[in-house]
Amino acid sequence: MKKIRIATRKSRLALWQSNCVADQLRQHFPGIEVELLPMSTRGDEVLDRSLAEIGGKGLFLKELEVALVEGRADIAVHSLKDVPAEQPDGLMLGAFLPRADAGDLWIAGGGVAPADLPAGSVVGSSSLRRISQLHAIRPDIEVIALRGNVETRIAAVTEGRVAATVLAAAGLNRLAIVPPGAIALSMEHWLPAPGQGIIAIQCRLDDRSVIERLTALNCPTTALQAQSERAVVEALGGDCRMPLAAYGDVRGEQLDLRARLGGQGGELIDVRVSGKTADAVSLGRKAAAQLLAGGGKKILERLNLSPSP
């Protein structure tokens, strides 16, 4: 294989991530040609409605996946937190790059901490996971929908349209646009989206040549984290309508997995399971079962959702 074509979204962050993959391919396989195929997705184009209303985070992927299936691209690069738990027929996730900071950053005018935000302040976010955790610590604030690329959401704060917002640390660090006064939300009390901070590479199941090359880029530790966190999502039938958070901490051959499901009015259900990394998927399923048993089933029913059979 002398050339690899990468399907990517057109946002600056997506292009940064795809160029990162391209650079690694060139480093591991000198002489290989790598071409980026930037595409616009429905998730990028429809910004006046929440993702839950228009079909979920998978809308960031569909056009890229069609390009893979049709053979116009050899791989597609995604933020793993945007990738649904189930892969389309004929496609797979072939590699996970080393995970960046998985946490969230609190972005507020003047660097005001969450605890110091005046009562009734307006915070912008369209993430049900973030909204449920915000209301758990500050039930007195108002949250309004805020979508768009990271630059657009930062601008909403700097221009005073909202008092604050919450963004993934990985994206801001990758683009070197962390605003002054940004506050890291401690993972002891605030959990990220499953897969947050991970760049995933998607390919065709039958493309052995590409799969072999992607092996050189795969980070085994990150892959274990991804497997455990995505197993929680899959077991719950999770999508963007589900306020679900999860983080797997790998240390040697041990994996410590925390998961959280948010409800209305700041209700949060937390579970923690630990075991061998070889059992990453079963640990994720165990965490999901404990969430359901601890009240998660009622939360999903109120959201008109149901766990996977």
Please list the active-site residues.
82
Strand runs labelled E in 131-198: 142-144, 164-168, 183-184
Contact 107, 167 (CB under 8 A): yes
The CA distances from residue 221 to 173, 224, 255, in Å, are 21, 5, 10
Q: At what angle do helices 220-236 and 280-291 cross, to 10 degrees?
A: 30
Strand runs labelled E in the chain: 3-9, 33-39, 75-79, 91-96, 104-108, 122-124, 142-144, 164-168, 183-184, 199-204, 244-251, 254-262, 268-276
Closest CA to 233 of 85, 82, 79, 87: 85
Looking from the CA of 95 toward its CB, the CA atoms found within 13 Å total: 20
- Rounded Cα gap, residues 208 and 265, in angstroms: 49
